[in-house]
Structure 1
Amino acid sequence: MFKLQRKTKSEALFDLINTIGMLLICFVTLYPIWYVLVNAFNDGTDAMSGGIYWWPRVFSLENFEAVFDSPGIMTAMGITVAKTFIGTVAHVFFTAMVAYALSRKGLIGGKIYILIGTVTLFFAGGLIPSFLLMKDLHLLDNFLVYIIPFMFSFFDLIIFMTFFREIPEGLEEAARIDGANDWSIFMRVILPVSMPVLATIALFHGVFQWNDYFTGMIYINNTDLQPIQTYLYRVVAQSSSSQMVAAVQGSSGTKTVTSQSIKLATMVVTTLPIVFVYPFLQKYFVKGMMIGSIKG
Structure 2
Amino acid sequence: MLSLNRKTKGEALFDLLNNIGMLLICFVTLYPIWYVVVNSLNEGMDGMRGGIYWWPRIFSFENYTAVFQNPGIMTAMGVTVAKTLLGTILHVFFTAMVAYAFSRRELIGGKIYIFIGTITLFFGGGLIPTYLLMKDLHLLDNFLVYIIPVMFSFFDLIIFMTFFREIPDGLEEAAEIDGANDWSIFVRIIIPVSMPVIATISLFHGVYQWNDYFAGVIYMNNMDLQPIQTYLYRVVAQSSSNQMVAQIPGGIGKTVTSQSIKLATMVVTTMPIVFVYPFLQRYFVKGMMIGSIKG
Q: Normalising by structure 1, report the TM-score.
A: 0.91
Residue 181 of structure 2 aligns to which amino acid in structure 1?
N
Task: Identify if the C-alpha distance between structure 1 residues 240 and 92 changes in structure 2 by more than 3 Å, giving closer, same or farther.
Answer: closer
Answering whether residue 67 of structure 2 is matched by residue 78 of structure 1, we say no
Partner of 1:136: 136
**Where do residues 27-106 of structure 1 align in structure 2 (5 Å cutoff)?**
27-106=27-106
- Listed one character per residue, the Cα deviations across residues 259-295 of structure 1 (whole Å, up to 9, x for unaligned) are 2111111101111112111122123235589xxxxxx
Amino acid at match of 1:85: L
Q: Distance in 2 between matches of 1:68 and 1:252?
A: 15
Query: Which secondary structure state, in structure 2, belongs to the residue aligned with residue 35 of structure 1?
Result: helix
Q: How does 1:225-236 map to 2 (within 5 A)?
A: 225-236=225-236
Shift of 1:121: 0.8
Distance 1:117 1:245, change over 3 A: closer
Secondary structure of the corresponding residue to residue 191 of structure 1: helix
Q: What is the deviation of 1:70? A: 2.0
Alpha carbons of 1:172 and 1:251: their partners in 2 closer, same or farther (altered >3 Å)? farther
- Asked if structure 2 preserves the Cα contact closer than 8 Å seen for 1:100 and 1:161, the reply is yes
Amino acid at match of 1:247: A
- The whole-number CA distance in structure 2 between the counterparts of 1:230 and 1:173 is 49
Structure 1 residues 97 and 15: alpha-carbon distance in aligned structure 2, compared to 1, 3 A threshold: same
- The whole-number CA distance in structure 2 between the counterparts of 1:21 and 1:193 is 40
Residue 4 of structure 1 and its aligned partner are, at CA, apart by 7.3
Kindly report which structure 2 residues correspond to 1:173-252, keeping only aligned pairs within 5 A, or say none: 173-239=173-239, 243-244=242-243, 247-248=246-247
Could you say which residue in structure 1 is the equivalent of 2:292?
none
Provide the C-alpha distance between the structure 2 equivalents of 1:132 and 1:23, rounded to a whole number of angstroms: 48
Q: CA RMSD in A?
A: 1.9
Residues 188 and 275 of structure 1: CA distance in aligned 2, closer, same or farther (over 3 Å): same
Alignment match, 2:271: 272
Q: Which moved more, 1:232-241 or 1:178-187?
A: 232-241
Give 1:17's aligned residue: 17
1:18–1:135 distance in 2 versus 1, CA, 3 Å: same
The answer (yes or no) to whether the contact 2:69–2:249 under 8 Å persists in 1 is no
CA offset digits 1:24-55 (Å, max 9, x no partner): 11111111100000000001111111111100
- CA 1:273 to 1:122, structure 2 compared with 1: closer, same or farther past 3 Å? same
Question: Match for residue 255 of structure 1?
Answer: 254
Gap regions ≥5 residues in structure 1? 290-296
User: Unmatched 5+ residue regions in structure 2?
Assistant: 289-295
Separation in 1, partners of 2:88, 2:150: 9
Alpha-carbon spacing, 1:61–1:197, altered in 2? closer, same or farther (3 Å): same
Q: Is the 8 A contact 1:238 1:244 kept in 2?
A: no
SS of residue in 2 equivalent to 1:72: helix
Give the Cα separation in 2 of the matches to 1:288 and 1:69.
Answer: 40
Q: 2: CA distance between counterparts of 1:191 and 1:70?
A: 41
Identity of aligned residues (%): 80
The separation in 2 between residues aligned to 1:219 and 1:288, in whole angstroms, is 33
CA positional deviation for 1:129: 0.8
Q: CA contact under 8 A between 1:79 and 1:228: conserved in structure 2?
A: yes
CA offset at residue 239 of structure 1? 2.7
Shift of 1:184: 1.3
Q: Bigger CA drift: 250-259 or 78-87?
A: 250-259
Residue 238 of structure 2: SS of its match in structure 1? coil
Q: Which stretch of the first structure deviates more once superposed, 102-111 or 32-41?
A: 102-111
Once the 2 structures are TM-superposed, how far is the Cα of residue 254 of structure 1 from its aligned partner? 2.0
Change (3 A) 1:193 1:43: same
Match of 2:293 in 1: none
1:126-161 deviation digits (Å, cap 9, x = unpaired): 111111111111111111111110100001111111
How far does residue 223 in structure 1 lie from its aligned partner after superposition? 0.8
CA contact (8 A) 1:121 1:154 kept: yes
The superposition leaves residues 188-210 of structure 1 with CA deviations (integer Å, 9 ceiling, x where unpaired) of 11111111110000001000000
Give every structure 1 segment of 4 or more consecutive aligned residues whose post-TM-superposition deviation is greater than 6 Å. none
Counterpart AA for 1:102: F
Task: Find the aligned partners of 2:112 and 2:139 in 1 and give their Cα distance.
Answer: 29
**Secondary structure at the counterpart of residue 71 of structure 2:** coil
Quote the offset at 1:5 in angstroms.
Answer: 1.9
Amino acid at match of 1:48: M
